Amino acid sequence: MIDALLLQLGYNATLVTLGACLLGIAAGVAGTFLFLRKRALVSDAISHATLPGIALAFIVMVSFGGNGRSLFGLLFGAGVSAALGLLCLHWLTTRTRLGEDAAIGAVLSVFFGLGIVMLTIVQTMSVGQQAGLEGFLLGSTAGMLRGDALLLAVAASVVLSLVLFLRRPFELAAFDPAFAETSGWSLAWIDFAMMGIVLVVTVVGLKVVGLILIVALLIVPAVSARFWTDRSDGVILIAAILGGLSGYIGAALSAVAPALPTGPIIVLVGFAFFVMSLLFAPKRGVLASVLTHYQYQRQIHLRQGLLALAQGQPIYEALTRRLMFRAGLILPDGVATASGQAAAAKALLDENRWSIVRADQSFAAAATRYDGLTVIEEFLTPDQMNEVDGRIIAPRALF
């Protein structure tokens, strides 16, 4: 495995690994905007629409005496077919009452069904070059050549360049379509450009992961990256890294175990990164959410315990007593320590302050931040604090 990761398993394994890595980078970047635009399933329709083009390109090339296995010809046919499927999808969503999900289902099923029928016809032809075309369904990297790897490199460069050039309109369309239109951008053309980039990645990725699994390589890295950052440029960068690593590690694993298909292994590695992101991302991960929830509960118990101390009420909750004892606020018998008395007095004072702020419309902005735990000094100026404290002290001075 170490030799595979260090590209020491031979020329073909190196080509496959580097090609898969480049494809993963391009797919991660292109899929980010699909994910942010909430059009992830469009890539599924595009990928399935490539199958009729592959079969038809093979038939045409063989009919004219050419090499039916020419990768460029097959990918060209796939691109034309995918573009036709994309146009059909656009027409259905803009010219009929069908929703995008229904249009995707129609285009995907019809084109894929047509492709299966045409592929069956190809298999019955008398020429002997049709063997292996089914590899475009799940990917087949065993015969990858230097030209194929160069094609992936060129496609990745084109995709990255286009994304860099069109990043601003893509982000506007993803986050604020109305503002994009009022700024002079055409959403239709932005979507066409986005789909065009996805189409390029889909077509060149057929050789590596196949038309069925390319959607996973487009979407999974972007979904995983979203757990790690709230910034769009960060999502793009992390998705590119995760996509590249998925392709690189997946191809290396496939080289170590030749009996395993490369495309599914790449997707499974991408899924492993997704699980890692889901569990361990610092802000949005499951572990971070559990810890945040635990800390929030702990703060609530401490707050309620301090208010009980300040009002001379007993603390019945065992967890509250345990947390307050660990924090040095009470003794084992429940008697407040000096620091506990000070904290209790501050908690009661803050509660009185918040009650005044929430009842006064002049503090409406600050009142919306009340949750029982927020420090009031973070939202009021010193003059406002003096005014609120004066309202607390003034009634006591009357007695």
Residues 179 and 59 in one domain: yes
Structure-block tokens of residue 360: 């006064």
Mean pLDDT along residues 290-297: 89
Residues 138 and 242 in one domain: yes
Confidence (pTM): 0.79
Residues 342 and 221 in one domain: no
Residues 267 and 300 in one domain: no
Residues 237 and 163 in one domain: yes
Residues 239 and 337 in one domain: no
Domain range for 368: 287-397
Whether residue 398 has pLDDT greater than 60: no
Residues 215 and 338 in one domain: no
Residue whose entry in the numeric block shows the structure tokens 């894929």: 112
Residue 330 has phi, psi (to 5 degrees) of -135, 160
Residues 263 and 297 in one domain: no
Higher pLDDT, 44 or 396: 44
Whether residue 223 has pLDDT greater than 70: yes
CATH of the domain at 247: 1.10.3470.10
Q: Which of 225, 259, 281 is the last residue of a domain?
A: 281
Q: Which of 281, 308, 343 is the last residue of a domain?
A: 281
* Residue 262: HSE in the Cβ half-sphere, 13 Å Cα cutoff: 30
Q: Which of 281, 298, 317 is the last residue of a domain?
A: 281
Whether residue 395 has pLDDT greater than 70: no
Residues 185 and 311 in one domain: no
Residues 242 and 325 in one domain: no
Give 326: exposed, middle or buried? Use CB within 10 Å, 0-12, 13-18, 19+. exposed
Positive or negative, the CA dihedral 283, 284, 287, 288 is: positive
Residues 220 and 294 in one domain: no
> 158-168, pLDDT tens digit by residue?
888 888 888 88
- Give yes or no for a contact between 81 and 50, defined as CB atoms under 8 angstroms apart: yes
> 125-178, pLDDT tens digit by residue?
766 565 556 666 666 665 666 777 777 778 788 888 888 888 888 888 888 888
- The domain total for the chain is 2
Residues 22 and 76 in one domain: yes
